[in-house]
Amino acid sequence: MSPQWAKRPWTMGMDMRNILVATDGSEGAERAVAFAAELAHALSAKLVILAVSEPSISRDLEEFRRAEGSTIGDIVEADAAAHVKHAIELANNQGAMDIQEVTRAGDPAHVILAVARDLAADLVVVGKRGFGRVKGFALGSVSQNLAAHADRIVVIVP
């Protein structure tokens, strides 16, 4: 049975085959993944889960990197892979069937827009706020950039 919101007129007649959701492991990203997965299930669409790693790491991760003898790339890739793995579990729990995982490095807003174009995503879903460095803004910088610069529908999940 489809969720009630999937029966609303805004979804009727829309041919959504690819839904892209970005995750950084934050609570907001988890809500975005759950929403996108439920929508993908209701519309029988492919769900692409994207984790974007910024090239910089925190002081704690730098200390861990030194202790483990890892490269920054190893740490960043492992972090992104963990976010995607968790997001896939959430998506499966919401009924998403066709799931693709993608990890990239770079500026999150730019990478999300590029992946959306490359994969012909019909819809991009993000959380309102993630683990950005600056706290206290009503809308995170990534979601704000996406809303301002996207050439397709962007859903920002509170």
Give dist(CA 79, CA 102) in Å, integer: 13
- The answer to whether the CB of 16 falls within 8 A of the CB of 43 is yes
Q: H/E element holding 47? A: strand 46-53
**pTM, to two decimals:** 0.77
Query: Tens place of pLDDT for every residue, the chain, 158 residues?
Result: 455 545 544 555 567 899 999 999 989 999 999 999 999 999 999 999 999 887 665 566 666 656 666 666 666 677 788 889 999 999 999 999 999 999 988 889 999 999 999 999 999 999 986 554 433 334 468 899 999 999 999 999 99
Give dist(CA 89, CA 94) in Å, integer: 9
What are the structural domains, with CATH classification, of the chain? 15-157 (3.40.50.620)
* Two tokens, residue 31: 């809500």
